[in-house]
Structure formats: C-alpha cells, structure tokens
Chain A
Amino acid sequence: MQLALTILMDGLIYASWLFVVALGLTLVFGVLKILNIAHGSLYAVGAYASASAVGLVASLGWAPGLSLLAMLVAAIGVALLVGPLLERGLLRLFYGRDEVVLLLVTYALFLILEDAVKLIWGVNPYYVSEPYQLFGNVAFGPLFYVGYDFALIGLAIICGLAVWFGLNRTVSGKIVLAVIHSREMSGSMGVNVDRVQWIAFTVGVFLAALGGAFTAPMISVQPGISVSVIIVSFAVVIIGGLGSIEGAAIGAIVVGLARAAAVHLMPEAELFSIYLVMAAVLIFRPEGLFQRAAARKI
C-alpha cells in the first residue's frame, strides 16, 4: 500500500512538472499547427531568466518569498519578449508551407536559441536553490517530500484550469477555438487571426518559460537542459492527442505514473516504460487519447 501511494505521489509530482511544459506545446500545436521543437529551448530560457531573477532578489536582500514572484515575472518577461518576436518575426513567414518545413524551422530555432543562451548566460551553471526550501518538508510515511513539489502540483492545476477556462468559457477563448477549427472562416467573420496566433504562441512560450522558471531551483541551470524535457513532452502530447489540453493532462499523468512505477519496480526499464506506454496508446488510438474532432470542410 505504501509502495502504491509512493508511486502515485512520485508520479503526480513528475506529471505536474511535465504538464506545465507540455500544455504550452499542445496549445501552440492546436492553434498554429506547429510542432515546436524549440519549446525545450524556451523552457531553458525561462530557467535561466528565473535563475537571474532569483539571484537579483537575493543580491538586493529582499524577502526570500519574493523570489517566487520574481520567477513568475521572469517567465512573463520571457514570453512578452520572445513570443511576439518569434511569431511575428519568423514563424508567420512560413505559414501555409508543409508541416515538415515548419518542423525544420523550429529545429533551426532550437539550435539558434541554444547558442543564444550560451551567449547571454555562458556555460557555467546557475544555482538558485533557496526557493526550493520555502515550503519546508512534508513527512509521508517513512519518506520526506519537499513542500515545493506539492506547490508544483498546485501550479500545474492552476495552469491547466486557467487555459481550459480561458478557451472554453470566455469570448476570447471561443474565438481561439474558432480559429483552431477554421482560420479561413474565422477570418472571413472578422476575427483577427494574426493576433490570435501571436497571442496563442506567446501563451505557449509563457507556459514553457514558467515550467523552466519553477524547475530552476531544483536543478543546476546549465546548457543541455532543454533536450530531455522536449523529448518527454513530445511523448506526453502524442499520448494525449496533439492539441488537446485534457489529453496533455492525462498524458502527463500516464507518463508520470508509468515512470514512477518503473523506477520503483523495474528501474532498468525506466526510459523504456514511457515509450512502451506511447506505443501501446498509438496502436489503439493512432491520433492519441483525446484527439480533438476536426470540422469537416466540404
């Protein structure tokens, strides 16, 4: 029983981290039809910006609790700076081209951002572990968990609900859904499709940066952190169905639990477990668990 609960706890903590990152990936695909390989780099930019912001809070002698706010501001700053710039300055030039072209463009962007990060922050690691200890420890049977991990679960729930509510319960969200279903028809009805696209991309960048920002206190922020996250995030959105928020949530939980179960019961199969789940889902649901129904065009 204790083992099952530990697997559940570890799986949910890992899933929450994964979900915040994968949510942005699936949102961008849903609205812009771009499988954004550079999403991992945007996560890394968020982590670096967060590390710099937390470092600034510490150097100014401000209360440690403010570092959480600084991390949020860093993620917003990255999104506002990078999102519109990339979407308006680069990606829109390739709309209408083959999806493979856009995939290659985002791959190129990934490589450029990797070098840009090194140019700005160098190759030395950044440590900002102070926020990691803000919430203390929580005893769970024979184990201790860090309160910060549970805060991450809360963050994931807030992000998921906010995006879901924004899309499904607001007028702006309905407009975005209309664009998702048909750009041409939305445009002809007076929707400013360009604006919807850059805003959606910016929100995607924000979610990637937010994932990086709140991961920064748990790791040493250094070159290379973008690669592993993008691979697992892709697995999540493929399992859940590209473009689906519910799918990203379920995909993250499935991957988190599968990975946790593997680590506790069969550690040598940890990485394999994720791809086993992905393969199993794709055999029965080639478009993922929650593929959004597409409007049929006559």
Chain B
Amino acid sequence: MSNTSLNGGRRLGRTALFAAAITGLLAGAAQAQETFRIGIVTFLSGQAAESFGVPARHGADFVIDQLNRGAAPAPYNRVGFGGLRIEPIIIDENGGATKQVQELRNLYQRENVDAVVGYIGSGDCLAVAPVAEELKKFLILFDCGTPRIFEDASYKYVFRTAAHATQDNVALARYMRSRNISAASYSLINQDYAWGQDSRGDFMATMAQLYPQAKAEADLLPAFGSGQYGTEISALGRAGSNVVYSSLWGGDLQAFILQGGPRGIFQRSQLVLSAADHVLQALGDKMPNGAIIGARGAYGLMAPDTALNRWFFAGYSQARNGTYPVQASYRMTQALLGLKAAVEKAMASNGGKKPTSEELAAAMENLEWDTPGGLIQMRLGNGHQAIQAMAIGRTRYDAARRMVTIEDIQRFPAECVNPPANMRSLDWIKAGFPGAKCD
C-alpha cells in the first residue's frame, strides 16, 4: 500500500512536474506572444537618411529601450505598451513609393506587426495610406509634411501625429512680422517637388496676408539633389531682396549654405529657413549668424523646458555621444508616445487585452498627449491629424561651446499657426487666418 502510495506519489510528483513544465512552457509561449510588434519605416540610406531617417531611428531606439525598461518618466513609466514588450522591425524607406507599398504589405501580412509607424517622404505617405486603410491595419505617419493626406482624403486606420507643413510657414512669417523684419521684397528657393512647392505656396500666401506690400522677386525651383547652386546664388544675389526664404533641407540645404556663404548673399538678405535645425550640428560655424529658422515644431534647442524634454534631450544625447536630438528624433518620439497612449487607453476599455486595429483607431481619434516637444492634439482630419505648438528662433555660432545656438526664440500656440478643423490650409491662410488664437 505504502509502495503503491509511494509509487502513486512519485507518479503524481512526476505529473505535477510535467504539468508545471508544460505550464511554464505555455506561459513562456504566451509571454513570448505578449509583445507589441511595430514596423518602423524610416530612411536608413539615401539623401534623407543623415538628416531625418537616422536621427528618427536613433529616437526610436532610445525611446523603445526606455519604455521596455519602464524607465521613461510619468505618465509613460509603465513597461512597454501597457505591459506588452515593444518589438520593433525597422525597414528602410529608401527606394520609392512602389517599394514602400510592398514593404507595408509585408509588415502587416508576413511580419504580423500590430502597427506601423513610419514615412518621411510625402510621396510615400500618400502612397501607403490607402493601402493600410484597405487592409484595415493601424498606421501612424510620423513625419511627412504634405497637408494633402487628410485634406484630400479621409481614413479610419491612418493617423499623423505631427503637424503638417502649413504651420512652418505661417509661424515664420508671423515671427518676421513680430520682429519687424523688413520684407519689402523677398526671394524664394525651393526644391522642385511636392514639399518645396507646397512650402512655397504656403509662404507666399502667408506673406500676402502679413506683408501685403511685399514683392516676390527671384522664385527658384532647383531640382531635388542638385548639389550645385552657383547659378541660383547669382540670381538671388542679383535680386538683392530683403529676405531669402527656403524650404531646402538636408544635403541640399547644406550645399546651398556652403556655397552661398562665401558669396555674401546672407549678408545682403535676411535668410529665412522653414526647416533647418537638423543641419546646425553638421554645419557649425559655416551656418550664418542671424538666420531665422524653424524646426517643424518646438524641437531640439527650441524645445520647451519640461521634465519630458529633459529626459529625452539628455538621454538621447548621452546615448549618441553628445549629438542632440533634432526634428525627426522628436517626431518619432511623439509618434511612439502617442501609440503608447492609444494602446493603453484601448486596453483600459477592453479588459487589458492587446487591442485590435479597430480598438486602436478608436482610441487614437481626437487623442491628446504630452511629448518632449509639447502637447500633441489630434484636431484635424476628423481627429486623425495632429496640431502642435511651434517655435522659431535665430542662429548664432557660439565659439566657446563650438556649436550653433538658437536665440530670440518665439513660441506660437498650435491654434495660432494651424488651420481649424474642416478648413483647408491654403483657404485658411487666404481668408486671413480666421479663428487663429495667438495669445
């Protein structure tokens, strides 16, 4: 009996051990499944890599690591996304819109990602948004600038967590007006594609409102990636306008400044750049003093002094050997923090399960959340397009610190430089900014 009992006990013991092992394995498997997979798409090669793509990736690396360790400050101190460990899959955006559509399908259908956060190129954003919608999969556009995404279409599963390009140009002209910058005449140089043309249109329309007497002189549209701006610089020099405006970025902007500086056009005209914070560290003392620049938000050296920004700016800089975060790093961060807020909001109402795309979309609509660059509000495009505060400042090279600093910074509330809901950006500017709240 006792033997039997012993045997039975052994059997029971073995069974219990076996069951425990199976349970452990199953638990492990369940735990392994309990991740939140994100496809992250950003330029890792090509012309936009150095300026935007790689800083965005570095931003993602830093924030995901912090979130997975539960090391981010409140309200983002819960591990991962609501306890789900974040698992990124990073894809290169280089290669054109057709390739990006294929990659997006791969991410959703083969990699089974729960959401995609990506896209810097406006053309890529315009191409992938309808595909995510067709597949009924959650997509966050984190950087691209064209207002057309939600002004020409409406989506359920697609969101953009950063303001579009209109605010950059409205804020620039408002800054010039508030500083009484003389602009009896102005010249423009913009890349000949969607971003350059949209920016040019917005800036000219805003100037027509704020400087109605201003005369547009040289209006140059060099090809993307020209590299050689000697002729354009001659044309700008000949025009001799009070202001030279540009939405050039990355290598094009760097080449323009390197070539324009020795030719004296920045002494002759006030340089006004809609997106330039990302070239300051690289250009150093080659960047002209006194240039009026935007960063496409209140980012980098123009970011607000908050606990969130101190955490991000210092942590990122430390992780990147002293290189501080710029526009794309901030925009990636605000997309990931917004996704975290949406996931946790959806989990709070579905009993703590990983949310579906429908639940995520419902949670993200009209959402507001804090970021290192300030408050993000999903106010436009039926709650799918963000507005945010904006900052503009002037450059000065600090020889002692061997870096370009930004001074005389002015901040603009989101509702001062973004159109109201249900109004197209250009119509809003041409109507004289109805409803703008600037105080």
Contacts and interface: CB of A to CB of B under 8 A. Distances in A.
A9 B234 contact: yes
A227 interface: yes
Interface string A197-220: 000000000000000000100111
A65 interface: no
A264 B134 CA distance: 46
Interface in A117-168: 118, 123-125, 127, 129, 132-133, 137, 142-146, 149
B235 interface: yes
Interface stretch (A10-18, A83-91, A182-190): A10-18
Given A3-B238, A264-B238, A259 B223 contact: no
A273 to B, nearest CB: 11
A223 B50 CA distance: 9
A133 B234 CA distance: 17
Contacts of B283: 127
A123 B286 contact: no
Of A123, A133, A220, A260, most B-chain CB atoms within 10 Å: A220
A137 B47 contact: no
A92 to B, nearest CB: 30
A263 B251 contact: no
Nearest to A268: B221
B45 A118 contact: yes
A268 B200 CA distance: 13
A223 B225 contact: no
Contacts of B262: 132-133, 137, 144, 146
B227 A229 contact: yes
A9 B220 CA distance: 18
Nearest to B220: A267
A271 interface: yes
A123 B192 CA distance: 24
B64 to A, nearest CB: 21
Tell me if A's interface is mostly helix, strand, loop or mixed.
Answer: helix
Interface stretch (B6-14, B252-260, B358-366, B426-434): B252-260
A270 interface: yes
A224 interface: yes
Interface in B29-81: 44-47, 49-50, 54
Contact of A125 (B228, B231, B251): B251
Nearest to B263: A144
B219 interface: yes
A149 B228 CA distance: 11
A219 B227 contact: yes
B87 interface: no
Contacts of B192: 270-271
B343 to A, nearest CB: 31
B24 interface: no
A222 interface: yes
Contacts, number: 123
Contacts of B49: 123, 222-223
Contacts of B254: 125, 127, 219-220
A264 B223 contact: no
B393 interface: no
A225 B230 CA distance: 16
B140 interface: no
Contacts of A263: 220, 222, 231-232, 234-235
Given A10-B234, A13-B230, A219-B227, A129 B258 contact: yes
B263 A219 contact: no
Contact of A223 (B47, B255, B263): B47
A222 B47 contact: yes
Given A132-B258, A263-B220, A6 B251 contact: no
Given A222-B251, A223-B46, A228 B263 contact: no
Contact of B231 (A14, A123, A146, A225): A14
B46 A224 contact: yes
Contacts of A220: 251, 254-255, 258, 282
Nearest to B43: A123
B50 to A, nearest CB: 5
Contact of B234 (A6, A132, A229): A6
Contacts of B219: 267-268
A268 B192 CA distance: 8
Interface in A6-62: 6, 9-11, 13-14, 17
Given A17-B228, A271-B192, A219 B255 contact: yes
Interface in B133-155: none
Interface string A106-122: 00000000000010000
A256 to B, nearest CB: 9
B282 A127 contact: yes
B28 interface: no
Contacts of B218: 267
A137 B263 contact: yes
Contacts of A142: 237-238, 240
B264 interface: yes
Of B46, B54, B219, B240, most A-chain CB atoms within 10 Å: B46
A127 B257 CA distance: 12
Contacts of A14: 228, 230-231
A189 to B, nearest CB: 44
Given A132-B259, A137-B262, A224-B46, 5 more contacts: A17-B228, A127-B283, A143-B263, A228-B227, A263-B231
Interface of B: 44-47, 49-50, 54, 192, 218-223, 225-228, 230-232, 234-235, 237-238, 240, 251, 254-255, 258-259, 262-264, 282-283, 286
22 contacts: A6-B238, A10-B230, A10-B234, A14-B230, A125-B50, A127-B282, A127-B283, A132-B262, A149-B230, A218-B258, A218-B259, A220-B254, A222-B47, A223-B46, A223-B49, A228-B226, A263-B231, A263-B235, A267-B219, A267-B220, A267-B221, A270-B192
List 8 tightest A-B contacts by C-beta distance, closest first: A224-B47, A220-B254, A10-B231, A219-B255, A263-B231, A123-B49, A267-B220, A228-B225
